[in-house]
Amino acid sequence: MSSKSNVKIAPGAIVCNECELKGDITIGTKTVIHPKAKIIAEAGPIIIGENNLIEEQCAILNIEEDEEPNETGNVPVMIIGNNNVFEVGSEINCLKIGDNNVMEAKSFLGKQTNLSNGCIVGAGCRLTTDETVEENIVVYGGDCRRRKAGDKPVPQLLQIDFLSKVLPNYHHLKKSAKKPNP
């Protein structure tokens, strides 16, 4: 279990110092990671795309489960796409998340539930089924009812712009990797 942190932050991404980053993590440009977010890449690397919004107390975990040790030797890579929003307190364990998804507050994704594009997982909903959720599906309610939305949710560009300007005023940021000069 390597505790060496190998974090590649693209220029333009806003990553606060107080967030917990462990393992091999790649963060795309214009992604905002709030303080107290937790990204743990123990079992394998995590690749996060662009324009994502990861709020406080959020946990993005790629950790090994003790029951089944990885026999094949394949390292599970967690890939998160672009324009996703992970609201406060959400927990993501799955390996594949597409674009334009919204994980509302305190939602939970198990290791086998993968999201495609445009899905909205409602507040408090726990999804642990072994499936890939179809596009534009809204999961809501205490009993995780589902509904097909007309189109994908609105990308939070305005919020990301605002945070990019305001967060550096109040928090220390992690340094992003410098672009290699030709």
Of 75, 131, 149, 162, which lies in the binding site for another protein, with binding defined by CB under 8 A? 149
For another protein, the closer of residues 34 and 152 by Cβ is 152
Of 122, 127, 156, 167, which lies in the binding site for another protein, with binding defined by CB under 8 A? 122
d(CA 133, CA 116): 6
- What value, to the nearest 5°, has the Cα angle with vertex 98 and ends 97 and 100? 115
Half-sphere exposure of residue 45: CA atoms within 13 angstroms, side-chain side: 9
CB neighbour list of residue 93: distance below 8 Å, 6 or more residues apart:
61, 62, 63, 109, 110, 111
| Piece of 41-49, 75-83, 139-147, 165-173 that binds another protein (CB under 8 A) | 139-147
User: Which pairing describes strands 38-48 and 78-80: parallel, antiparallel, or unpaired?
Assistant: parallel
* In the complex, minimum distance from the CB of residue 117 to another protein, in angstroms, rounded to a whole number: 15
| Piece of 5-13, 75-83, 107-115, 144-152 that binds another protein (CB under 8 A) | 144-152
> Backbone phi, then psi, for 38, in 5-degree steps?
-130, 120
Confirm or reject binding of residue 124 to another protein (CB under 8 A). Answer: no
For another protein, the closer of residues 39 and 53 by Cβ is 53
Of 1, 73, 143, 150, which lies in the binding site for another protein, with binding defined by CB under 8 A? 150
Confirm or reject binding of residue 148 to another protein (CB under 8 A). Answer: yes
* CA 125 from centre of chain: 16
Name the residues that contact another protein, by CB under 8 A: 120, 122, 138, 140-141, 145-150, 153-154
